[in-house]
């Protein structure tokens, strides 16, 4: 099913995005859950899928990590099961991310789904990312406080919380409602009835992460060898002083690294890495190019693998970045590459002209055989099994 989001993006971005939390009543109504609580529990039993069970017993918080073998011991209150990156494994659930593609794909992270019984939640906390929390089945009460000093503590390993806060927002969410929370705003949600919640989260690297990436890249490539030089030095009266000009020269030595085109490529390459495992299966035996052309004629659409990150740099159209790898785009395949990176679903009609170019066909065949994109009928066949 495709989800229609009733939201004026221009107004939302100007007023709320990164600025303040907001409740978007019935923005995804009528809401149909893309999965059941049982299906979510089944996913939390899988080795490759990251899941957590957060519970509270006599005021004591507990966290257990999946994969789980059974949920039989759980009572009827005060627990929540959270499963990360469900969009990597569940195409119907991944549809919930589509309305958010008005925002750049590189900022979009994953879809986390939680199932909570009454009283269940993860307690008051702060996230470092923007999140749209969609209410599915059930009802949940959410409180959101203001940004400010909220010292974090760890009531149990694996759970960071903040003290109680004064709420700016105190609401009960029902199916189809969305709560948007920018980074840094404390929030707390507990279920009033058994509830499913879908969190569409965003990425924003911090300076430390970016500089650490740069350092890793320089070490790996033995780069950054230009050394401080001062051929214009004149005698100094204060020999203990490092002048502002000296510091400026040091800064420039460092910042020149950031202007490097190779650095931008490396940066985007790392932004294309997924944080969670993908359901990646190379085609075996691989398709020949002729078979791909037949499939393009027979099938309606090509889909991007759930959670696969694929980007290109505006200033470097001959390169693209897919799942942490850099690819040289063959001449004649640039338009195809942009379509693949811009859309998660591509009608095959839009591909036919592009694939008349032999280099584009060879490249596209490689991407299908790697399992990065697949034909819509493969998914329908799997669904029917
Ligand atoms: C949830 O419990 O579904 C969302 C948790 C959160 O606030 O990050
Ligand atoms: Co949160």
Chunked mean pLDDT (size 10), the chain, 385 residues? 96 98 98 98 98 96 97 95 98 97 96 98 97 98 97 96 98 98 98 98 93 89 94 96 97 91 89 95 96 95 97 92 96 94 94 92 97 88 63
Give CA–CA dist 11/359, Å, rounded.
Answer: 43
Distance, CA 328 to ligand 1 centroid (Å)? 39
Element (H, E) at 374: strand 373-375
**Residue from 317, 316, 320, 319 nearest 308 by CA:** 320
Distance, CA 126 to ligand 2 centroid (Å)? 6
**Residue from 43, 165, 204, 217 nearest 113 by CA:** 43
Q: Which atom of ligand 1 is nearest to the CA of 113?
A: 3
Nearest CA to ligand 1 atom 1: 114
Strands 79-83 and 51-57: antiparallel
The DSSP letter of residue 14 is H
Cβ-based neighbours of 251, under 8 Å, separated by 6 or more: none
Among all bound ligands, the one having the nearest atom to the CA of 188 is 1
Among all bound ligands, the one having the nearest atom to the CA of 122 is 1
Cβ-based neighbours of 181, under 8 Å, separated by 6 or more: 21, 127, 130, 131, 133, 144, 187
| Residues in contact with ligand 1 (CB, 6 Å cut-off) | 80, 114, 121-122, 127, 133, 187, 189, 197, 199
Distance, CA 186 to ligand 2 centroid (Å)? 8
**Residue from 358, 324, 321 nearest 337 by CA:** 321
The best mutation among 197, 198, 200, 201 to test binding of ligand 1, ranked by most ligand atoms within 8 Å of the C-beta, falls on 197
Sign of the CA dihedral running 63, 68, 69, 75: positive
Distance, CA 162 to ligand 1 centroid (Å)? 14
Q: What is the pLDDT of residue 384?
A: 60
The best mutation among 55, 80, 83, 132 to test binding of ligand 1, ranked by most ligand atoms within 8 Å of the C-beta, falls on 80
pTM of the full structure: 0.94
Q: Which atom of ligand 1 is nearest to the CA of 114?
A: 3
The best mutation among 114, 124, 177 to test binding of ligand 1, ranked by most ligand atoms within 8 Å of the C-beta, falls on 114
Distance, CA 199 to ligand 1 centroid (Å)? 7
Among all bound ligands, the one having the nearest atom to the CA of 198 is 1
Task: Give residue for tokens 């001062």.
Answer: 230
């Amino acid at each position: 099913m495709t989800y229609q989001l009733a939201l004026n993006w221009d107004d939302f971005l100007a007023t709320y995005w990164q600025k303040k939390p907001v409740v978007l009543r019935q923005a995804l109504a009528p809401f149909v859950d893309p999965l059941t609580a049982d299906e979510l529990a089944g996913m939390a039993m899988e080795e490759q899928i990251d899941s957590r069970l957060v519970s509270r017993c006599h005021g004591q918080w507990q966290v257990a990590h999946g994969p789980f073998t059974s949920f039989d011991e759980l009572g009827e209150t005060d627990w929540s099961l959270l499963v990360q990156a469900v969009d990597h494994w569940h195409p119907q659930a991944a549809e919930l991310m589509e309305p958010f593609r008005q925002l750049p794909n590189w900022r979009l992270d994953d879809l986390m789904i939680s199932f909570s019984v009454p009283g269940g939640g993860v307690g008051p906390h702060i996230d470092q990312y923007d999140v749209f929390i969609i209410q599915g089945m059930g009802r949940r009460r959410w409180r959101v406080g203001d940004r400010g000093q909220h010292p974090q503590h760890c009531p149990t390993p694996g759970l960071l919380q903040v003290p109680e806060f004064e709420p700016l927002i105190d609401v009960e969410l029902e199916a189809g409602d969305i709560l948007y929370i920018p980074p840094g705003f404390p929030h707390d949600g507990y279920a009033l009835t058994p509830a499913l919640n879908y969190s569409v989260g965003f990425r924003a690297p911090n300076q430390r992460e970016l500089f650490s990436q740069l350092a890793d890249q320089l070490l790996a490539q033995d780069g950054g060898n230009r050394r401080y030089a001062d051929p214009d030095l004149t005698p100094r009266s204060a020999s203990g002083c490092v002048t502002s000009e000296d510091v400026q020269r040091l800064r420039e030595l460092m910042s020149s690294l950031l202007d490097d085109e190779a650095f931008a490529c490396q940066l985007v390459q790392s932004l294309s890495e997924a944080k969670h495992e993908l359901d990646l299966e190379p085609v075996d035996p691989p398709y020949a190019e002729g078979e791909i052309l037949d499939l393009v004629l027979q099938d309606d659409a090509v889909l991007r693998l759930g959670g696969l990150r694929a980007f290109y740099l505006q200033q470097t159209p001959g390169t693209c970045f897919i799942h942490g790898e850099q690819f040289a785009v063959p001449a004649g395949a640039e338009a195809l590459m942009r379509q693949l990176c811009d859309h998660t679903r591509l009608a095959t009609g839009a591909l036919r002209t592009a694939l008349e170019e032999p280099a584009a066909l060879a490249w596209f065949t490689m991407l299908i055989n790697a399992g990065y994109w697949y034909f819509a009928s493969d998914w329908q066949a799997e669904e029917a099994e």
